[in-house]
Amino acid sequence: MRLGRGYQEIGTPRLARLGLAVLAALALAIPTIGRADTSLPQDTLYKSWTLICRQTPQVQGTRAPQKPYCQIYHRVRSEDKSKVLFIATARYQGAERTPMMILTLPAVANLQRGVTFQVDQGQAYRANIQVCTAQSCVSEFKLTDDLMKLFRSGTEANFSFGVNPQGEAKRAVPLAGFGAAIDALQKTGY
């Protein structure tokens, strides 16, 4: 559906708020999780994007088996590299293995304003922010065939989102290596 001023609305599947909060927490905690299963593919850097594979955390008090998952991500850091400001993560979700982009934003992001983005100087798109917690906000949208093509062929994705009170933040994510990383992610089967 087209929105005013050249934006295109990106549809999102309805996920439980708790599930998104857990996903956001996982995205922020990934570097500290140890690798228990050496049969998973090794972490691999594809220029600006990193492929990682892990086991889901064991839920305390249950005997449910851990499941492997893989994703690719790029972190935008502060100038002094001490803080992560924004995380763009791509992964395949569900039985249909739908390619999804998950954006982890700071907790001060404005839920109502959502996220706008464009690849290079192309068309602007808009995505909703589904949930905010005390630690972060999460925006998730499907990587349609058109968006996948843009991310594969582009050089930079520029994301913009409101921050409370009444400010705006802009984050640039380089797309160098995205195509190779998403191909490697697809091959993992996770």
Torsion of the alpha carbons at 103, 106, 107 and 109, rounded to the nearest 10: -80
Contact 53, 33 (CB under 8 A): no
Closest CA to 53 of 63, 41, 65, 61: 41
Global pTM value: 0.79
Q: In the CATH hierarchy, which top-level class contains the domain 4-188?
A: mainly beta
164-184 burial, b at 16+ Cβ within 10 Å, e below that, comes to eeeeebebebbbebbbbbbeb
Domain spans of the chain, in order of start: 4-188
Judged against a pLDDT cut of 50, whether residue 32 lies above it is answered with no
pLDDT digits (tens, 9 = 90+) for 94-130: 999 999 999 999 999 999 999 999 999 999 999 999 9
pLDDT digits (tens, 9 = 90+) for 63-78: 888 889 999 999 999 9
**Partners of 148 in the β-ladder:** none
Q: Euclidean distance between the first and final Cα of the chain, in Å?
A: 31
Q: What value does the mean pLDDT take over residues 177-183?
A: 98
